[in-house]
Structure 1
Amino acid sequence: MASPARWNHVWVGSETGILKGVNLRRRQATNYVAASALRREEGVCAMCWGDPSESEILIGCLDRSVKLFSTEKGKFTESRQCLGGEGAFCGLAVHDNSFITCVESGLLKVWRDASSENVETQVGAGVCRMRQNPVHPQRVGTGGKENALKVWDLQRPEEPIFRAKNVRNDWLSLRVPVWERDLQFLPGSEKIVTCTGHHQVRLYDPSSPQRRPVLETTYGEYPLTALSLTPGADSVVVGSSRGEMAVIDLRQGRLVKCLKGFAGSVRSVQCHSTLPLVASCGLDRFLRVHNIEDKHLKHKVYLKSRLNCLLLTSRERWEDEEPEPAAAEANVKEEDELWDCMKAVATKTVPKRSADPRGQETQQGKRSKKQKRHSVGP
């Protein structure tokens, strides 16, 4: 029988190394790492699905290990040390039975079964994020602090196939600093959207002659830390270091709406692939799920730890789904067997207690005295 872990809707990784599965329908959160095994050196810093059916999760930890968690079995099945470079993982992806890692020092590496076949390249220091192109999985994008957006083809990793150019100097003729915090590829096109540590949202089009952004807008006054495309890919949801979230229209570059209820820096944001839902987590230890259309906060779960990253299931109609019939029948059968094993307990009728005789005598004495007091003597 499949593990109950497969029915979780959101998977969250924390700074203390805990992997949590959250069933939003039942409002239950389960830890899949024992409390006695927690170490801050194993804090989760990157996560991705291991296969299209979402039966496996790859988890990158601060100690440079990549662990494989099976949602079908509800436990960790493999672990591998991925040494090389310096800093934490800033991206994790899967391609052709191999997984791709990128660390802050800029070492991008493809890990295959045979270590001699591993592919690696240097993408520049100060990397903040590496993302995979979902349509062309052999391509990844990287960006960071003073490290402009680049797109790499892992089949030809010597040079990037696209290198963004910094925007023009500001009105004081000063250079604008580069700080790409997150990025994502737009499906159905070659466009890439990024958010920066200087509260900018930029849209790049590698198919156009220019390497500068084709659209740029700003939101708020604080660094933007995470982003995710809405299901229609015409808007992007961004989160900031101050706990602000907003929906930005990518066609006109305008603010559409703000999502409220946060109390700390947003670390990770992910929109559902088809439903108007967006999940977010951060330093205030809450997992939140908003409805993008009406801005309603549908779910809010306190998870006790500072949260770094999350994965939201792509299943549809998950709010109505029930456990498999076989599992439900097995539970009913076990419950029936439990009741059959119990012994019958005979019930005994307890007679009603009579009144206290002394109380009756006292009441009779009071009545007799009252009668004497009101009687008229001869």
Structure 2
Amino acid sequence: MADRSRLCTVWLGSETGILKGVSVTRKQAFNFCNTSHLSRDQEVRALCWGDPAESEVLVGSVDGTVKTFSTEKGQFTDSRRCGGPADGGFTGLALCGAALVTCGECGTLRVWREDSSEPALELSAGNNVCRMRQSPVHRDRVATGGKDNGLKIWDLQKPDAPLFTAKNLRDDWLDLRRPHWVRDLAFIPDSDKVVTCTGYHQVHVFDPSSPQRRPVLEVEYGEYPLTALSLPAGGSTVVVGNTHGQIALLDLRKGVVRGCLKGLAGGVRGLQCHPTLPVVASCGLDRFLRIHSLEDRTLLHKVYLKSRLNCVLLASRDLEDGRGAAGEGGSQEVKEEEEGGEDEVWDTMERVEEKPKRKTTEEEEEELQKKKKSKKKRKKGQD
């Protein structure tokens, strides 16, 4: 069983532009923003750590700005323009040394130096990019993919051409082209492989070290588009979520479903597994943060956060009390909801019993019998 005491802070980005910090151990939620200027133009699309010590969170907004939030001071300390609305929302943020790597939906991949307002590197990863991820081992390598835009792996030190470009799937049994739509991806630890999930409920594993550019493993889950994935520690399984709130744990060696996580009521937008603990955090359209155990698939925590959530980032240490301000939104106590909470609501409601129907008296029954007899006589007379 996962040790709940080691589950500390979870950072989330919302559609309304609020950065939310949830202290699981203290059962508190913090809103970091100016609530008088909330706008969908400030919608948070991507989160990543600004340093290995987790003292800074980089927040990518849909308007092309990247804000730096200090977890120690409890406030935003910097903001820089890394694109515009025409680029679409951020599909990924990463830190490569002192440089910031950004990618938008338009497919423009940029590298920004710390002391420059102009990108040091700019390349095109193709149109309709849905996700950009950085390799946890080779920090100068990133992967991109999107709608009708297959998996590509880039070396930022050699940006002239991608290191790997996935080949389109084989035609179906009618010799028709199979469409491809990468929604999320991740580098598998201790290997060169990359796992992707698609908008056509498929999970693919690519191996750039092999001569085959098509998937070396293909698994289908459910019948709805997959939107997010994350790899637990070990790399032999992957957690995927879809647009109908279904989350499953798939085996990447045998290509089978190992189990499902229940409780969600809306599309999944963000998933992240803890780097050491067997737990996964999820968020999405139903406005809940949920933390499930990957050992017995039980729901450990469930917190309602009022806003639709786009992305989630797990921290290894807790928020510290009294350090910095939480913005105008302030902090609030959060009440975790357990399974069966809806049943408790129904139990507390006043019961309304249906009144029994009025029984007919003997006189009324006699009148009914007379009417039936008269109808029978009329029918006989007509015959």
TM-score by length of 1: 0.81
Q: In the TM superposition, what is the alpha-carbon distance from 1:116 to its structure 2 partner?
A: 5.4
Match of 2:220 in 1: 218
Within-5 A mapping of 1:31-180: 31-83=31-83, 86-112=87-113, 113-115=115-117, 118-180=120-182
Unpaired stretches in structure 1, ≥5 consecutive residues:
1-6, 328-378
Unpaired stretches in structure 2, ≥5 consecutive residues:
1-6, 324-383
CA distance in 1, matches of 2:193, 2:257: 20
Preserved CA contact (<8 Å) 2:293 2:299: yes
Q: In the TM superposition, what is the alpha-carbon distance from 1:323 to its structure 2 partner?
A: 6.5
Match of 1:208 in 2: 210
Deviation by residue 1:130-172 (Cα, 9 ceiling, x = unmatched): 0000100100000000000000000111100000011111111
CA distance in 2, matches of 1:203, 1:250: 8
Q: In the TM superposition, what is the alpha-carbon distance from 1:114 to its structure 2 partner?
A: 2.7
Q: In the TM superposition, what is the alpha-carbon distance from 1:34 to its structure 2 partner?
A: 2.7
- 4+ aligned runs moved over 6 Å, structure 1: none
Query: Residues 116 and 226 of structure 1: is their aligned pair in 2 closer, same or farther, counting only changes over 3 Å?
Result: closer
Number of residue pairs the alignment of both structures matches: 315
Match of 1:250 in 2: 252
CA distance in 2, matches of 1:172, 1:268: 36
CA distance in 2, matches of 1:228, 1:289: 13
The residue identity in structure 1 corresponding to 2:91 is C
Q: In the TM superposition, what is the alpha-carbon distance from 1:173 to its structure 2 partner?
A: 1.2
Q: In the TM superposition, what is the alpha-carbon distance from 1:266 to its structure 2 partner?
A: 0.2
CA distance in 2, matches of 1:185, 1:323: 32
CA distance in 1, matches of 2:133, 2:208: 16
The residue identity in structure 1 corresponding to 2:20 is K
Q: In the TM superposition, what is the alpha-carbon distance from 1:313 to its structure 2 partner?
A: 1.5
Preserved CA contact (<8 Å) 1:8 1:21: no
Q: In the TM superposition, what is the alpha-carbon distance from 1:187 to its structure 2 partner?
A: 1.3
CA distance in 1, matches of 2:320, 2:102: 35
CA distance in 1, matches of 2:77, 2:178: 46
CA distance in 2, matches of 1:173, 1:28: 56
Deviation by residue 1:274-325 (Cα, 9 ceiling, x = unmatched): 100000000000000000010110000000000000101145xx7xxx969x
Deviation by residue 1:319-350 (Cα, 9 ceiling, x = unmatched): xxx969x99xxxxxxxxxxxxxxxxxxxxxxx
CA distance in 2, matches of 1:285, 1:115: 35
CA distance in 2, matches of 1:73, 1:236: 35
The residue identity in structure 2 corresponding to 1:96 is G
**Mapped pair 1:16 → 2:12:** no
Higher relative contact order (CA 8 A, sep 6+): 2
Identical positions, percent = 61
Q: Secondary structure at the match of 1:41?
A: helix
